Amino acid sequence: GAVVSQHPSRVICKSGTSVKIECRSLDFQATTMFWYRQFPKQSLMLMATSNEGSKATYEQGVEKDKFLINHASLTLSTLTVTSAHPEDSSFYICSAKGDSYYGYTFGSGTRLTVV
């Protein structure tokens, strides 16, 4: 149990375009979802926390207008990178947490390359 599906796994986009990344909890209700970013050879940095039906809470230094997060249902959260630039190229990974147990389930990550 506790599976999170994240896609796409890889995406290459042109500078200036927007990219949407989906994170779905397949067999549990994810009341909270977290979005992390990881640059090469670095650690995971939390970008934002989203609770179903409410606005996401962004970490300091993360641009809300650039990284749009939507958590419209208990099984789906999306991260949209708007007007992407090469410096946004990174590994993005989501994590979902349900109420039934204190644990986190991570998606498999999305490698975004902006050219």
Partner 1 sequence: AQKVTQAQTEISVVEKEDVTLDCVYETRDTTYYLFWYKQPPSGELVFLIRRNSFDEQNEISGRYSWNFQKSTSSFNFTITASQVVDSAVYFCALSESTTDSWGKLQFGAGTQVVVTP
Contact footprint for partner 1 (CB under 8 A): 32, 34, 42-46, 49, 91, 93, 95, 97, 102-109, 111
Question: CB of 46: closest distance to partner 1 in angstroms?
Answer: 6
Q: Which amino acid is at 77?
A: S
16 vs 103, beta carbon nearer partner 1: 103
Task: Say if CB 91 and CB 113 are below 8 A apart.
Answer: no
14 vs 102, beta carbon nearer partner 1: 102
Question: CB of 12: closest distance to partner 1 in angstroms?
Answer: 16
Question: CB of 92: closest distance to partner 1 in angstroms?
Answer: 10
Longest Cα–Cα distance of the chain, Å, equals 42
CA 98 to chain centre: 16
Closest C-alpha among 33, 28, 20 to residue 3: 28
